[in-house]
Structure 1
Amino acid sequence: MQFDTQLLPRINAKSQKENGKQYYVDDRGNRFPSVTTILNATKPQADRDRLLNWKARVGTEEATRITTNASRRGTQTHKQIERYLLGQNPICPEASLPYWESIKPVLEEIDTVRLVEGSVFHYDLKYSGKLDCIANYQGIPCICEWKTADKPKGSIEHLYEHPLQLTAYMGAANEYYRDYGIQLKHALLVVAIPEMPAEIFWFEPTLIKDYWNQWEKRVAEYWERRSVWG
């Protein structure tokens, strides 16, 4: 793996949770809602109905078990990827080994790592988040996001709001790190799946622009609702 000699400076941000919502606070005291908080607050009714129908179908207890396990495996796999990208040659925990074996061939095509698990802020649109990685994939600078799943997604449509999340992180990274020559135009979303090669979703600039327009509308909707809520 090739590491860039000009790693981006990390933002000293603190994570805060309040009423189930997540915020990040920078070292100047700016406190902005996270990307996921904004997406959850402005989720279309069709997506809310789909989630409620799924919970009704499997039962509340089973739904909680599934989401808890998914969150745990995602966290473990992210930590494994982080250690690998930072050159720490980690030993993978057994629970996340199937996901690690799925995604590692993709990671071997990642180089020039600029940032791993870094907080970002978009001061104009007033949102924040924590992105997975800024690096080169097959020689192209991009923002990277790692996901885990038990079965293939099959298409971008089945990624639901993950592309919006990815695009939001890109916009914040481009704004915050502009003076460091960061102007990302491509995005990579990789889904690790047990006993299968990871799914690779590559986003070209034209598609990113469409998602960015959607994201701007969601942010505007969030702050309009906040003004109504007081």
Structure 2
Amino acid sequence: MPFDIQLLPKIDAKSLRESGKQYYVDAQGNRLPSVTTILNATKPQADRDRLLNWKARVGTEEASRITTAASRRGTKTHKQIERYLLGENPVCSEASLPYWESIKPVLEKINTIRLVEGSVFHYDLKYSGKVDCIASYQGIPCVCEWKTADKPKGSIERLYEYPLQLAAYIGAANKYYGDFGIEINHALLVVAIPEMVAEVFWLESDTIKSYWQQWEARVSEYWQRQKYWSS
């Protein structure tokens, strides 16, 4: 199915890694921390403990293998989705094909593509990030996030900080692209799972507002910590 593609102008930005943290730098040289950098720096202790317990349970070597494999399959799946949404033919490796087959039926409900793999900046709150997609899902404008997993998440609680990530991207997209008529209040998070139809999580505007408030608090905490460490 050919998509209605109405691409917004992309921000000229590059990704920068420094001391294990990710930043995006715009064409004017403004360097802002990424959403994931802020989330990692302000992660609640309970979430840190959960990650440490998992590593202790499976072993450091196995944890590293799982994390690396997940990152690679995610990158490959994102590339296939990007090609598909821009009207090109996706090229699937044998390893990534099950994830592509899982997510493709959901992608067929996407239309009015505005941005694919594009950087966003929120200069007031001082953060940046890369959005998987801005489009319409079943006719409603939204920010889309594509994930891969070996088994279903089951509930929004099991998504951990992904909804915060989406709220952050929505805030930055609305701020930066407001003059282009962009006003997004919904989010779509899709989890591709082998041999299953992808899990779909649709976040309504009230849910996004709640996560946005949490995100604002995390950003504030991040910059307070930066001020403390640099003083």
Shorter-chain TM-score range: over 0.9
Aligned mates of 1:59, 1:2 — CA distance in 2: 45
Matched letter for residue 54 of structure 2: W
Matched letter for residue 110 of structure 1: I
Q: In structure 1, what is the equivalent of residue 26 of structure 2?
A: 26
User: Is 1:118 aligned with 2:97?
Assistant: no
Q: Give 1:93 deviation, angstroms.
A: 1.5
Q: In structure 1, what is the equivalent of residue 3 of structure 2?
A: 2
Q: In structure 2, what is the equivalent of residue 202 of structure 1?
A: 202
Give CA deviations for 1:76-122 in whole Å, capped at 9, x if unaligned.
Answer: 00000000001002231211000000000000000110000000000
| DSSP-derived class of the 1:197 partner | coil
Gaps of 5+ in 2: none
1:1-230 residue pairs with structure 2 within 5 A?
Answer: 1-4=2-5, 6-230=6-230
Alpha-carbon RMSD: 0.6
Aligned mates of 1:167, 1:148 — CA distance in 2: 20
Q: Give 1:197 deviation, angstroms.
A: 0.6
Q: TM-score, normalised by structure 1?
A: 0.98
Matched letter for residue 114 of structure 1: R
Deviating 4+ runs (over 3 angstroms): none
Matched letter for residue 112 of structure 2: T
Q: TM-score, normalised by structure 2?
A: 0.98
Is the contact made by 2:98 and 2:194 (CA closer than 8 Å) also made in structure 1?
yes
Q: Give 1:67 deviation, angstroms.
A: 0.2
Give CA deviations for 1:32-55 in whole Å, capped at 9, x if unaligned.
Answer: 000000000000000000000000
Give CA deviations for 1:189-227 in whole Å, capped at 9, x if unaligned.
Answer: 000000001000000000000000000000000000000
Aligned mates of 2:168, 2:52 — CA distance in 1: 26
Matched letter for residue 88 of structure 1: E
Matched letter for residue 198 of structure 1: A
Matched letter for residue 169 of structure 1: Y
| DSSP-derived class of the 2:198 partner | strand
